[in-house]
Amino acid sequence: MDRRKFVQFGVAAGGALLANSALGQQKPGAQGPARPAPKRAVFPGGQVAVTTPNGVTLPLKEKDGVKIGHLVAMPIKHTFAPGLEGDCWGYNGRTPGPTIEVVEGDRVRFYVTNKLPEPTTVHWHGVILPNGMDGVAGLNQRVIKTGETFVYEFTFNHPGTFMYHPHFDEMTQMALGMMGMIVVHPKRPKGPPVDRDFVLMTHEWRIEPGARRPDPNEMTDFNVLTFNSKAFPGTDPLVVGRGERVRIRFGNLSAMDHHPIHFHGLTFELTGTDGGEIPAAQRHPETTVLVPVGSTRVIEFVPNEPGDWAMHCHMTHHVMNQMGHGMPVMVGANAQKIDAKVQGLLPGYMTMGHAGMGDMAEMGMPVPKNSIPMVGGPGPFGSIDMGGMFTILKVRDNPDTADPKGWYQHPKGTVADRADEALMKADGIDPDAKFG
Ligand SMILES: [Cu+2]
């Protein structure tokens, strides 16, 4: 019996715990890194259920061969990161809404209740379905008025990674957080099975420091950038096993920006989009995947280097929390002289940013109530001076028992540190070398 079949058997027999402990505690060694058992092999062919970091999956109940779900469009309170709360709109009390997870061929009936102060609809982005179920207000259906419940019924005929969002007053409703991911597992999976499967929706928001309501009118100057509506350090890390095959499905329903998501410590292959699967012959290694607005991108990889690896949008303004973009450039300015002059008028004035922005988190810069400082969170070696669309991929030998909050323990001598003077001398390195 192979491992995957055994796990399925274990789950079926109510012995998931046994399967995990029996297979998950293999010590790395002669047989290579441990390959802990997937926790939930519940879809055809042993496909693991998707994980939505910081999120949930929509519960579905089956009746007469139809899977039934309920989405409630509603105002919500949302925490982007510790210190930043928003008055947002979402589904079932959250943004993004619950991830819809089904299997190719599934017939579904989705009820949509509107508890917003204005009409809405739901569009099933990328799903090919009967025209009257496509959700474009005025074109395919009447709007769902406040207080009404509509019903959508269709069959998911194509496997893949899709999204859902309103198609009425999109600018407002999506700016306030109304969106979610859809995963349709294939009936007969091809290619190597994955051990972990994640969904991450990218998004951008404009929230004035101190305000609670995202600004739907913003077109260019977004200052809160998120994975699953969380800005670092609010993003849950992705804990994966060394040697496991991992899939991440990205979506982008940002207003304006495409997001190049960059991975440290591994290479991946693009295996699909919301158009479908990419043929194996067209795949090639990459370290950054561009996720355009209104698209999904699916990647797969096998991490072999253990550690805490950064995973983030590579637009530098998308990995800083709540940047203000109207400031003068102060880098290189003589702060002492400026401070002395201005302090005559404004006691306590301090020029910010003259030596770069990286130290702002540690300085405890005063910020308005309900706003997050310009930089991120604490790390094992000091402050991680990134925020926004940033998270951490934690590659572990025993991911199922590893503390997701814990940091990687580096083997001795494998962390960059201050150079030893004798070694520098021996290697002919002069720190005071002159150039030019
Ligand atoms: Cu970005």
What are the pLDDT digits (tens) for 393-412? 999 999 999 999 999 999 99
State the pLDDT confidence band at 125, using cuts at 50, 70 and 90.
very high
82 CA from centroid of ligand 1 (Å): 21
Q: How far is the CA of 284 from the centre of ligand 1 (A)?
A: 23
Region 60-83 average pLDDT: 97
- pLDDT over 60 at 283, yes or no: yes
- Across the range 24-33, mean pLDDT stands at 37
More confident residue, 168 or 324: 168
- 127 CA distance to ligand 1 middle (Å): 25
Residue 336, φ and ψ in degrees, nearest 5: -60, -45
Q: Could you tell me the distance, in angstroms and rounded to a whole number, from the CA of residue 171 to the centre of ligand 1?
A: 19
Q: Is residue 306 a contact partner of residue 407, using CB atoms and an 8 Å limit?
A: no
Q: What whole-number distance in Å separates Cα of residue 428 and Cα of residue 436?
A: 19
Give residue 16's pLDDT.
31
- Confidence label for 265 from pLDDT (cuts 50, 70 and 90): very high
pLDDT confidence band for 24 (50 / 70 / 90): very low
Q: What is the pLDDT of residue 326?
A: 58
For residue 1, what pLDDT band results from cuts at 50, 70 and 90? very low
pLDDT at 344 over 50: yes
The CA 146 to ligand 1 mean position distance, Å, reads 34
> What is the 389 CA–ligand 1 centroid distance (Å)?
7
Average model confidence (pLDDT) for the chain? 87
Mean pLDDT value of segment 212-231: 95
Distance of CA 433 from the midpoint of ligand 1 (Å): 39
State in Å: Cα 141 to ligand 1 middle: 33
Q: How far is the CA of 318 from the centre of ligand 1 (A)?
A: 5
Output the CA 235–ligand 1 centroid distance in Å. Answer: 15
- Per-residue burial over 312-351, b = 16 or more CB atoms within 10 Å of its CB, e = otherwise: bbebeebbbbbbeeeeeeeeeeeeeeeeeeeeeeeeeeeb
Distance between CA atoms of residues 217 and 224, nearest Å: 15
> Are 340 and 351 contacting, i.e. CB atoms less than 8 angstroms apart?
no
Tokens of residue 344, six digits: 């005559």
Please say whether the beta carbons of 266 and 304 come within 8 A.
yes
255 contacts 292 by C-beta, under 8 angstroms: no
Give percent of the chain with pLDDT exceeding 70.
84
Cα-flanking dihedrals φ and ψ of residue 393, to 5°?
-95, 115
- At 8 the pLDDT is 33
**Type of residue at 426:** A
Average pLDDT over residues 236-246: 97
Query: DSSP characters for 216-268?
Result: TT-SS---EEEETTB-BTSSPPEEEETT--EEEEEEE--SS--EEEEESS--E
Ligand 1 centroid – CA 259 distance (Å): 4
**Strand-pair partners of 246:** 196, 301
**What's residue 22's pLDDT?**
32
| Alpha helices by DSSP H, 80-189 | 170-175
- Is the model's pLDDT at 7 over the cut of 70? no
Altogether, the residues listed in the chain come to a count of 436
At 126 the pLDDT is 98
With contact defined as beta carbons under 8 Å apart, do 212 and 224 qualify?
no
What is the rounded average pLDDT of the residues 66-71?
98
3-state secondary structure of 79: strand
Ligand 1 centroid from CA 303, angstroms: 23
Q: How many CB atoms are closer than 10 A to CB 22?
A: 14
pLDDT at 424 over 70: yes
How far apart are the CA of 315 and the centre of ligand 1, in A? 5
Question: Tokens 């969380």 label which residue?
Answer: 230
Q: pTM value?
A: 0.84
- The pLDDT-based confidence of 357 (bands split at 50, 70, 90) is low
Distance 225 CA to ligand 1 centre (A): 7
Confidence of residue 363 (pLDDT cuts 50, 70, 90): low
Measure 374 CA to ligand 1 centroid, in angstroms.
16
Q: What is the mean pLDDT of residues 12-33?
A: 34
Distance from the CA of 16 to the center of ligand 1, in angstroms? 39
Q: How far is the CA of 278 from the centre of ligand 1 (A)?
A: 24
Task: Of 109-118, 133-142, 172-181, 378-387, give the lowest mean pLDDT range.
Answer: 378-387
Q: What is the pLDDT of residue 185?
A: 97
CA of 164 to the centre of ligand 1 (A): 20
Q: Residue for token digits 């949008």? A: 313
Listed in sequence order, the residues at least 6 apart from 2 whose beta carbon sits closer than 8 Å to its beta carbon are: none
Reported as a single tens digit per residue, the pLDDT across 321-338 is 876 555 566 667 777 777
